[in-house]
C-alpha cells in the first residue's frame, strides 16, 4: 500500500512501535520534523528515480545501431515529459483518489492540497502533497521507458508516443490503484513494495504485446528461422546507462519506504539500499558466470541485463530479506535473463535491449519471491496479483497497439528502417562525423 | 625491382616493420583491410545467438625493393609475422616495372 491514508500510516506506525516495544527506545521527533523528513525523502529519492530516465536513455542508445541513436534519445526524453503531463492530467487521481476497489476518480488536473500542514497540524507519517505526487509520477515514466527499448529501431516516433499516453494515462494508473491505491489486490494481501509487477512487469507486458504486433527488425531473423544478432553501437554508453539505473534504483526502492520520520524508517530505508545494491551485484555475477559457462565468453550486455534483472527482482520486497537472501533473489534474476533472451529469439520476438527478460520475467520472479521473505504474503495471492495485472495489461495494451496499427500505423517503412530512423524521422545523425564505416561490410 | 605485398595479423605489424628495417628496407605502406581465407571467417556469440564474422580484420603491407633484396624481405616478413596459428596471412611478390619519386623526379632504383 503505497499511498496510504493518514489513518493507515498512523496504524502502521503503531504496529512498528508495538514490534519494538510499547515505549520506543528512541525519542520520537515532533510532527513537523517528521513531516519535513518524510517530504525530504520523497523529493530526493524521487529525483534519483527521475535520473533513471537518463539511465534508460543511455542503455538504449548503446544497444541500438548508431543510425537510430538520436531517435531513441528523443523517445526517452519525450516519454518522460508525457508521463508527467498525463499523471497531472488524470493519472494520479485515477490511481489514488477515492479508489473504489478497481479504479480511482476521473477528476482531471491534480493539484496539491496541504491545508492541514499549513495550519500547523501534522498527522503521523505526513508529507507535502507535491512531494508524494512527484515521487509517484517518476515511477510512471519508468514503466514507459521499458517499452521504448524493446521496440527500438522500427517503430514510428509519434505512434510510440501515442502508446505512451495511453500507458501512462490509463493502463498504469488503473492497475496501480488495485494495489498502491488501496484497491482489491491490496485488500487481498498482495504485496509489491516498489513495483516489480506494478511498474516493471507492466512496462514489460506492454513491450511484449508491442514487440509481437510490431514484428522484428528487418534482418533479425532469416527466412529459414536463424537468428541474426544485431550488436549495439556503443557498449560504454550501455554500461553507463546501467550504472545510472543502478544509482536511481536506490531512490526507486529506498523512497518506497514512504517515510523518513523515525529511526525505524531510517533503518528500513538503509536496509533497502543495501539489499537493492546486493541484488544487482548478484544479478551481474550470475549472468557473467552463466554466459562464461554456456558460451565460453562473458557477454557484457547480458551482465548489464543481469544487473537490471537483479534490481527488478528485489523491487517487490527489498526490506525484509537478509542481505544473503537479497543476493540470491537478484542472482536468480540474472539467471532468468540469460535463458529468457535466447528464448525470445526462438519465439521470433525481437526485443532490442532485453527489456522483456529483465523487467517482465525478473519482475514476475521477484513478485513471487516475496512469499519467501515476507511472512504476510502468500504465494497464491502473489500469483493472483501477477496474473490479474498481467491479463489486464496484455488485453488493454493489445487493444491499444492494434488501434494504433490500424489507424496511424506503428511500423516504419522498410526504406526508413534501412536508412535509419534518425535520418528518416529527425533528418539528422547522432554521430555525423563518424559515418557508417563500421557497417560497410 | 619487386613489390612485396603481405597480408598479416594486425598485432604483428610492429615486429614486421622492425624486421624489415633491420635488413635495410627504407619504407613501407600499411593498410587496414578485411578478408577471409580457408576458414571463411569465424563465429561469435552475441546475447546467446551465434553469428558469422565473414571478414576478419588484417593489415596489408606493401614494400618496393630492389630485386636482390626481395627474397630476404619475404623471409623477414614470414619470420616476423608467423604465430603458427590459423590466419597468419600470405605474402605475394610482383615484378615492379617503374618507380618515380615525386619530389625529385628520380626513377626506378634511385627512387627506392
Nearest-Cα residue of chain A relative to residue B57: A441
Could A228 and B54 be called an inter-chain contact, meaning their C-beta atoms sit closer than 8 Å?
no
For residue A297, the model assigns a pLDDT of: 94
Which helix (H) or strand (E) is A365 found in, with range? helix A362-373
**pLDDT number for residue A239:** 98
A-B contacts at Cβ under 8 angstroms: 36
**Three-class SS state of A215:** coil
Given this model, what pLDDT does residue B66 score? 94
Q: Does B86 touch chain A (CB under 8 A)?
A: no
Question: Shortest CB distance from A341 goes to which of B48, B50, B55?
Answer: B48
CA distances from A413 to A151, A208, A294, B69 (A): 15, 21, 37, 59
B45 contacts A441? CB cut-off 8 A: no
Nearest to B49 among A229, A338, A354 (CB): A229
Higher pLDDT, B40 or A419: A419
What is the spatial distance between Cα A88 and Cα A40, in angstroms, rounded to a whole number? 21
Place of cell 554456456: A294
Coil, helix or strand for A319?
Answer: coil
Q: Which residues contact B15 (CB under 8 A, 6 or more apart)?
A: B80, B81
Q: Which residues of B touch A302 (CB under 8 A)?
A: 47-48
CA distance A231 to chain B (A): 7
A167: DSSP letter? I
Structure letter (DSSP) for residue A64: S
Alpha-carbon distance of A135 to A113, in angstroms, equals 16
Which pTM was predicted? 0.87
Give the residue among A167, A153, A145 at the shortest CA–CA distance from A58.
A145
Q: Note whether B51 contacts A229, CB cutoff 8 Å.
A: yes
Residue of A nearest to B46 (CA): A229
Contacts with A14 (C-beta within 8 Å, 6 or more apart), sequence order: none
What ipTM did this prediction achieve? 0.71
Does any CB of chain A come closer than 8 Å to the CB of residue B43?
no
CA-CA distance, B112 to B107, in Å (whole number)? 8
Handedness of CA A391, A397, A400, A404 (dihedral sign): negative
Contact call for A299 and B34, based on CB within 8 A: no
Cβ density class A75-93: b for 16+ within 10 Å, e for less: bbebbbebbbebbbbbbbb
| Cα A68 to Cα A234: distance, rounded to the nearest angstrom | 12
Q: Does B49 touch chain A (CB under 8 A)?
A: yes
SS (H, E, C) B28-50: CEEEEEEECCCCCCEEEEECCEE
Chain A nearest-CA residue for B54: A441
Name every chain A residue with its beta carbon within 8 A of the beta carbon of B46.
Answer: 229, 231, 299, 301
> A interface mutation test: which of B35, B41, B43, B48 has the most A CBs within 10 A?
B48
State whether residue B54 sits within 8 Å of chain A by CB: yes
Give chain B positions within 8 Å (CB) of A341. 47-48
Smallest CA–CA distance, residue A382 to chain B, in Å, is 31
Distance from CA of B70 to the nearest CA of A (A): 34
Contact B83, B12 (CB under 8 A): yes
The more confident residue out of B52 and A259 is: A259
How many residues make up chain A in this entry?
A: 441
Contact residues, chain A to chain B, C-beta under 8 Å: 227-229, 231, 294-295, 297, 299, 301-302, 338, 341-342, 345, 354, 441
CA distance A11 to A97: 20
Q: What angle do CA B2, B4, B9 make, to 5 degrees?
A: 175
User: Is B48 within 8 Å of A345 when comparing Cβ atoms?
Assistant: yes
Q: What is the DSSP letter of A413?
A: P
> Are the beta carbons of B47 and A229 separated by less than 8 Å?
yes
How far apart CA A10 and CA A25 sit, in angstroms, is: 19
In 3-state terms chain B splits into helix, strand, coil percentages (rounded to 5) of 30, 40, 35
Of the two residues B1 and A6, the one the predictor is more confident about is B1
Nearest CA in chain A to B52: A228
- Angle of CA points A289, A293, A294, to nearest 5°: 115
Angle, helices A129-150/A172-179, rounded to nearest 10 degrees = 120
Q: What's residue A437's pLDDT?
A: 46
Q: Where are the beta strands (DSSP E) in A112-206?
A: none
**For every one of its 441 residues, what pLDDT tens digit does chain A have, with 9 covering 90 and above?**
465 444 444 445 445 444 544 455 567 889 999 999 999 999 999 999 999 999 999 999 999 999 999 999 999 999 999 999 999 999 999 999 999 999 999 999 999 999 999 999 998 889 999 999 999 999 999 999 999 999 999 999 999 999 999 999 999 999 999 999 999 999 999 999 999 999 999 999 999 999 999 999 999 999 888 899 999 999 999 999 999 999 999 999 999 999 999 999 999 999 999 999 999 999 999 999 999 999 999 999 999 999 999 999 999 999 999 999 999 999 999 999 999 999 999 999 999 999 999 999 999 999 999 999 888 899 999 999 999 999 999 999 999 999 999 999 999 999 999 999 999 999 988 887 765 544 544
Contact A341 B54 (CB under 8 A): no
Please tell me the distance from the alpha carbon of residue A4 to that of residue A18, in angstroms, as a whole number: 19
CB atoms within 10 A of CB A435: 11
Query: CB contact, 8 Å: B48 with chain A?
Result: yes
Q: Which residues of A358-392 are buried (b: 16+ CB within 10 A; e: fewer)?
A: bbbbbbbbbbbbbbbbbeebbeebbebbbebbbeb
- The rounded distance, in Å, linking the Cα atoms of B39 and B51 is 15
Amino acid at each position: 500500500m503505497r499511498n496510504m491514508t493518514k489513518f493507515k500510516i498512523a496504524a502502521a506506525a503503531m504496529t512498528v512501535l508495538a514490534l519494538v516495544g510499547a515505549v520506543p527506545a528512541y525519542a520520537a521527533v515532533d510532527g513537523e520534523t517528521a513531516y519535513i523528513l518524510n517530504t525530504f525523502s520523497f523529493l530526493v529519492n524521487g529525483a534519483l528515480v527521475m535520473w533513471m530516465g537518463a539511465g534508460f536513455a543511455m542503455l538504449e542508445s548503446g544497444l541500438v545501431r548508431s543510425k537510430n541513436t538520436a531517435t531513441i534519445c528523443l523517445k526517452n526524453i519525450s516519454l518522460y515529459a508525457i508521463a508527467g503531463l498525463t499523471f497531472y492530467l488524470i493519472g494520479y487521481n485515477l490511481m489514488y483518489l477515492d479508489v473504489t476497489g478497481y479504479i480511482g476518480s476521473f477528476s482531471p488536473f491534480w493539484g496539491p492540497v496541504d491545508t492541514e500542514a499549513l495550519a500547523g497540524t501534522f498527522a503521523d507519517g505526513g508529507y507535502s502533497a507535491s512531494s508524494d505526487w512527484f515521487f509517484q509520477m517518476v515511477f510512471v515514466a519508468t514503466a514507459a521507458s521499458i517499452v521504448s527499448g524493446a521496440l527500438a529501431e522500427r517503430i514510428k516516433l509519434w505512434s510510440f508516443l501515442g502508446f505512451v499516453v495511453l500507458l501512462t494515462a490509463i493502463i498504469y494508473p488503473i492497475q496501480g490503484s488495485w494495489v498502491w491505491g488501496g484497491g482489491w489486490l491490496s485488500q487481498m494481501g498482495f504485496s509489491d513494495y516498489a513495483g516489480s509487477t506494478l511498474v516493471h512487469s507492466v512496462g514489460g507486458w506492454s513491450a511484449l504485446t508491442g514487440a509481437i504486433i510490431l514484428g522484428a527488425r528487418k534482418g533479425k531473423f532469416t527466412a529459414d528461422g536463424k537468428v541474426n544478432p544485431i550488436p549495439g553501437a556503443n557498449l560504454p554508453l550501455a554500461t553507463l546507462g546501467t550504472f545510472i539505473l543502478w544509482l536511481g534504483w536506490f531512490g526507486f526502492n529506498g523512497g518506497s519506504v514512504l517515510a523518513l520520520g523515525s529511526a525505524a524508517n531510517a533503518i528500513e530505508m538503509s536496509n533497502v539500499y543495501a539489499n537493492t545494491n546486493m541484488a544487482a551485484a548478484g544479478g551481474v555475477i550470475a549472468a557473467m558466470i552463466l554466459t562464461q559457462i554456456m558460451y565460453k565468453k562473458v557477454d557484457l550486455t547480458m551482465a548489464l541485463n543481469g544487473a537490471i534483472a537483479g534490481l527488478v527482482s528485489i523491487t517487490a520486497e527489498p526490506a525484509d530479506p537478509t542481505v544473503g537472501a537479497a543476493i540470491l533473489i537478484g542472482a536468480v534474476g540474472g539467471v532468468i535473463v540469460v535463458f529468457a533472451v535466447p528464448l525470445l529469439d526462438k519465439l521470433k520476438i525481437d526485443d532490442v535491449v532485453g527489456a522483456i527478460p529483465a523487467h517482465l520475467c525478473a519482475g514476475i520472479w521477484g513478485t513471487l519471491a516475496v512469499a519467501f521473505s515476507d511472512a504476510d504474503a502468500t504465494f497464491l495471492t502473489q500469483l493472483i496479483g501477477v496474473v490479474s495485472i498481467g491479463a489486464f495489461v496484455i488485453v488493454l495494451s493489445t487493444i491499444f497497439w492494434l488501434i494504433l496499427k490500424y489507424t496511424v500505423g506503428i511500423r516504419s517503412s522498410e526504406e526508413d528502417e534501412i536508412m535509419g530512423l534518425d535520418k528518416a524521422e529527425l533528418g539528422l545523425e547522432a554521430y555525423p562525423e563518424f559515418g557508417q564505416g563500421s557497417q560497410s561490410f | 625491382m619487386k613489390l612485396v605485398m603481405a597480408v598479416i595479423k594486425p598485432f604483428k605489424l610492429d615486429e614486421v616493420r622492425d624486421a624489415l628495417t633491420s635488413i635495410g628496407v627504407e619504407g613501407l605502406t600499411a593498410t587496414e583491410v578485411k578478408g577471409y581465407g580457408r576458414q571463411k571467417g569465424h563465429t561469435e556469440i552475441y546475447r546467446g545467438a551465434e553469428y558469422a564474422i565473414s571478414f576478419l580484420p588484417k593489415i596489408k603491407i606493401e614494400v618496393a625493393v630492389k630485386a636482390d633484396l626481395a627474397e630476404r624481405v619475404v623471409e623477414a616478413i614470414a619470420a616476423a609475422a608467423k604465430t603458427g596459428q590459423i590466419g597468419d596471412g600470405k605474402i605475394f611478390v610482383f615484378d615492379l616495372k617503374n618507380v618515380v619519386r615525386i619530389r625529385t623526379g628520380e626513377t626506378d632504383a634511385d627512387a627506392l
